[in-house]
């Protein structure tokens, strides 16, 4: 059997969301090996052979590329459908049929769960797959360090750059 993992080359407005990559690391823990890397926003692109793929994380910046290619055998768990694009998916009978065919759909959040159930798609709440990262990514080493991650993600990048310049100047002073 061939296995695939999602890759995330594209981002909204050119912003890279590292959380997407962490989602793939969480899925990778459950695969015996990876034969293909498939772009999350181009799931309808041709794939030469059947692959199993965990479809977890945030979907989709490009709803016109949905449903996925017929050679993808999906496992929907920790699936989030962006409400901004949900109507495009649910107004496409082929996309709805695809979701129903591969149900039940494990939903990362209650808004996705409600959307699925509203459209008659068998689904359940599965939480986020990243909550299982301690299977392969853990340590017994503990520190007193505190990390701030993505705290400025939604800010205008010009202000983020200015913030870091000010921070560096203050640290050096």
What would the pLDDT profile of 148-171 be if each residue is shown by its tens digit? 776 655 655 555 555 555 555 555
* Domain positions in the chain: 3-134
Joined tokens for residue 49: 């052979």
Joined tokens for residue 136: 């392969």
- Max mean pLDDT range (10-14, 17-21, 31-35, 61-65): 31-35
Cβ atoms of 41 and 10 within 8 Å: the answer is: yes
Q: How many CB atoms lie within 10 A of CB 114?
A: 13
User: Rg of the chain over CA atoms, in angstroms?
Assistant: 19
Q: Which residue has the tokens 């290619």?
A: 69
What would the pLDDT profile of 66-121 be if each residue is shown by its tens digit? 999 999 999 999 999 988 889 999 999 999 999 999 999 999 999 999 999 999 99
Q: What does pTM read for this prediction?
A: 0.79
């Amino acid at each position: 059997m061939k296995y695939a993992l999602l890759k995330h080359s594209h981002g909204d407005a050119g912003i890279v969301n590292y959380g997407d990559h962490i989602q793939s690391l969480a899925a990778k823990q459950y695969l015996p090996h990876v034969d293909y890397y498939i772009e999350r926003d181009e799931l309808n692109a041709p794939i030469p052979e059947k692959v199993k793929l965990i479809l977890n994380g945030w979907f989709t910046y490009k709803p016109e590329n949905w449903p996925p290619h017929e050679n993808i055998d999906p496992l929907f768990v920790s699936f989030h459908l962006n409400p901004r694009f949900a109507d495009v998916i649910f107004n496409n009978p082929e996309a709805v049929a695809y979701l129903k065919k591969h149900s039940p759909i494990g939903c990362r959040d209650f808004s996705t769960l409600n959307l699925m159930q509203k459209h008659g798609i068998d689904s359940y709440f599965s939480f986020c797959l990243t909550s299982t990262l301690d299977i392969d990514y853990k340590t017994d080493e503990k520190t007193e360090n505190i990390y701030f991650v993505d705290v400025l993600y939604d800010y205008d990048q010009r202000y983020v750059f200015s913030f870091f310049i000010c921070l560096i100047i203050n640290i050096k002073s």
